[in-house]
Structure formats: C-alpha cells, structure tokens
Amino acid sequence: MLINLAWLLAVLTLGLLSPGPDFLLIVKNSVGTPRAYALGTVAGIATGLAAQMLVISLGFVAASPAALRGVQLGGAVFLAYLGWRALRAAPGPGAAETGAAGAPGVRSGFVQGLICNLTNPKAFLFFVSVFAQTLRPDTDRRWRVVLPVAVVVHGATAWSLVVAALQSPPVARRLERAQRWLPRAFGAALVVLAGAVVVEACRG
C-alpha cells in the first residue's frame, strides 16, 4: 500500500502544478500581496479538498450531468469575476496593499480558495479516477482514512511551498518589476479559463 501512496502523491503533485483554476488563483493571490492573503487562499483550497475527500470516501461519487454542468458554470462565473477584478486593479507594486484596513487578508483569501476549489468538478472527477486505481473493495479501513488525509496534507503543503517560493525575496523582487502587467495577465488568464469552462460545459 505504501507503493500506492507514493504513486498517488506523485500523480497529485503533477496535477496540482498543472495550470488549472487553483494554481492560477494561488499565483495571483501570492504576487504582491500580504502572505496572510496567500496562505488564506491555501487554507480555503485545502478545506475544499478535504470536503471532496470526505464525499469520495463516503462513496458519493455519482452526480448527474446536469448537476456537474451547473457547478461548472458557477465556477466559471466566479473565475470570471476574479479575473475581472484583477484586470481592473490599479497597477503598481503596492496596488494590493492600500493600507491595513484595505489590504486583503486571511478571510478573503480563504473564501476565494474554497469557492474556487468546490466549483471545479473536474478536480473532483480527477480524484475519483485516481482513487479508483488506489482503493479497492478489500482495502483496509485504515488506508481509507490515511489516503484522503494524505491528499489534503500534501495539497496544503505543496501550495504553501508555492506561496513561499513566489514570495521569497529573489523571486518577489523580480515579480515586483512586473507588477504593472502581471496581475492583469493573470486576470486575463482567469477570464479565458472561465470562457473555456463555459464552452466545455455547454458541449457536455
């Protein structure tokens, strides 16, 4: 079973670092913003991930196409909203930190991360397919608990490392020079991703 766990974590690492909604949101909320905001986003995504793991471990892995399509469209609206806000953000190194009262904090990042993760049914289906290769009807009950917990801990750790890397002084200095266009670039990427999600949902 340890081999299965290692395989699972390797696949999850590749999945987490692929350019999906969670990844783009983590990057956007880590560049030129308070660390609390970025880590709040990590906590929100990890909480959404825990909810998905709970649903999968309880066996509720079947959902109607209409329900999945509705979740997809809801997620697309949210991504478009985040992208639009980023596109309208004032350019400049200190744009995200307009003062202690106006600076984004843990709660704002948490809500964004949670909604982004929970409205991404592709992530849910990805975990279902991965767990189908790992958990069997005869799998020990302890592993049915250990594997979901390992997924959540792995996700929270990986995203935290991404935040730490993006906000490390050498990287932060380089990103600071690009603050006039980088947030808007991520905003545009989120809007494009939202459009792609809408197209895929309508095709489905």
Q: What is the mean pLDDT of residues 69-97?
A: 67
Calpha distance 80→30 (Å, rounded): 19
Q: Look at residue 38 in the predicted model and tell me its pLDDT.
A: 94
Q: Look at residue 46 in the predicted model and tell me its pLDDT.
A: 94
Q: Look at residue 111 in the predicted model and tell me its pLDDT.
A: 94
pLDDT-derived band at 120, boundaries 50, 70, 90: confident
Q: Which amino acid is at 83?
A: G
Does the structure show a pLDDT above 90 at 5? no
pLDDT-derived band at 101, boundaries 50, 70, 90: very low
Contact 166, 30 (CB under 8 A): yes
The pTM of the whole model exceeds 0.85: no
3-state secondary structure of 158: helix
Does the structure show a pLDDT above 70 at 67? no
CB atoms within 10 A of CB 195: 14
Calpha distance 149→71 (Å, rounded): 25
Q: What is the mean pLDDT of residues 88-107?
A: 58
Does the structure show a pLDDT above 60 at 91? no
Higher pLDDT, 156 or 19: 156
Does the structure show a pLDDT above 90 at 157? yes
Q: Look at residue 94 in the predicted model and tell me its pLDDT.
A: 44
What is the overall mean pLDDT for the chain?
A: 77
Q: Phi and psi at residue 40, in whole multiples of 5°?
A: -65, -40
Does the structure show a pLDDT above 80 at 136? no
Residues 72-90 as b/e (b if ≥16 CB within 10 A, e otherwise) read: bbbbbebbbebbeebeebe
Q: Look at residue 96 in the predicted model and tell me its pLDDT.
A: 45
Q: Which residues have C-beta within 8 Å of that of residue 186, sequence separation ≥ 6?
A: 24, 27, 28, 31, 83, 86
pLDDT tens digits for range 7-38: 777 777 777 766 788 888 998 898 878 999 99
pLDDT-derived band at 70, boundaries 50, 70, 90: confident
Q: What is the 3-state secondary structure (H, E, C) of 80-148?
A: HHHHHHHHHCCCCCCCCCCCCCCCCCHHHHHHHHHHHHHCCHHHHHHHHHHHHHHCCCCCCHHHHHHHH
pLDDT-derived band at 141, boundaries 50, 70, 90: confident
Q: Which two tokens stand for residue 84?
A: 């639009």
Calpha distance 150→147 (Å, rounded): 5
Does the structure show a pLDDT above 60 at 102? no
The residue among 198, 174, 180, 31 whose CA lies nearest residue 109 is: 31
Distances (CA, A) of 116 to 4, 31, 45, 126, 201: 28, 18, 7, 15, 16
